[in-house]
Homo-oligomer: A and B are copies of this chain.
Amino acid sequence: MVLTIYLDLLSQPCRALYITLKLHNLTFETQYLSIEKGEHRTSEFTQNISRFNKLPVIDDDGFKLTESVGILRYLARTKAIRDSYYPQDAKKQARVDEFLEWHHANLRSLCSPYFIRKWILPKFYGKITPADKLNPYFKQMVTCLDNMERLWLNSGLYITGDQLTAADVWAACEIEQLTMTGYDPKIGRPKLAAFLERVRNETNPYFDQAHQQVYKYAELENKNSKL
């Protein structure tokens, strides 16, 4: 029984899944693909790995699955995932699910459009978005991060209470990547800042391993902005 994960650590859901697998000491093989080079868009990938042309994908002894949150739930049912990380209790699991669904319609939908235009499009495709067109996406991201601080980080050390769950890892990986645009989501958001540090400490060394490229690009962006 071999579990293979196809990923690019420049992708947020790939990082969240990688951290989850490492944190639980699961045995898996890693196939690194480059989104920048379009390695997830080849006809070979479409035919043999996934018709969705997205990462991550897992192949669990022939069962291929996409969508990181769906994969997380599948792993929780079939592998040794800690109960505190994705609880089996109906109500506790519902609280983690509630965040993971909110994540899609908020953190992911409202922060990544800015990230894509500010960082992905210029870097991968040489496409620059003018400042006035970027601005609405920036504002949308700021409001969303304010909502994250206001709605989810008011009680307990983590999103659903005092124990780390998958919700925290998915959130932290999404927010951390914004630093690559030169924006620091921690400034002016003390609860978010403390939360991100807590998730990083609790999941290290895997959090830092997964974010190596993110940190490198964030540092580069900081240096460039000071020139």
The answer, among B67, B93, B94, B98, for a CB contact under 8 Å with A102, is B67
Contacts A78-B90, A90-B77, A93-B77; A67 near B98 (Cβ below 8 A): yes
B-side contacts of A74, CB under 8 Å: 90-91, 93-94, 97
Q: Are A101 and B104 in contact (CB under 8 A)?
A: yes
- Closest chain B residue to A100 by CB distance? B70
Q: Are B97 and A52 in contact (CB under 8 A)?
A: no
A109 within 8 Å of B by Cβ?
yes
A108 within 8 Å of B by Cβ?
yes
Chain A 99-128 per-residue mask, 1 if CB under 8 angstroms from chain B, else 0:
011101100110000000000000000000
- Closest chain B residue to A103 by CB distance? B104
The answer, among B69, B71, B78, B105, for a CB contact under 8 Å with A108, is B105
A157 within 8 Å of B by Cβ?
no
- Closest chain B residue to A65 by CB distance? B94
Q: Are A94 and B73 in contact (CB under 8 A)?
A: yes
A203 within 8 Å of B by Cβ?
no
Q: In the bound complex, what is the Cα–Cα distance between A63 and B92 (angstroms)?
A: 11
Q: Are A52 and B151 in contact (CB under 8 A)?
A: yes
User: Can you list 18 A-B pairs with a CB-CB distance of less than 8 A?
Assistant: A52-B151, A63-B91, A65-B94, A66-B98, A66-B102, A67-B102, A69-B97, A69-B101, A70-B94, A70-B97, A73-B93, A73-B94, A73-B97, A74-B94, A74-B97, A104-B105, A105-B108, A109-B109
Contacts A52-B151, A91-B63; A104 near B102 (Cβ below 8 A): no
A139 within 8 Å of B by Cβ?
no
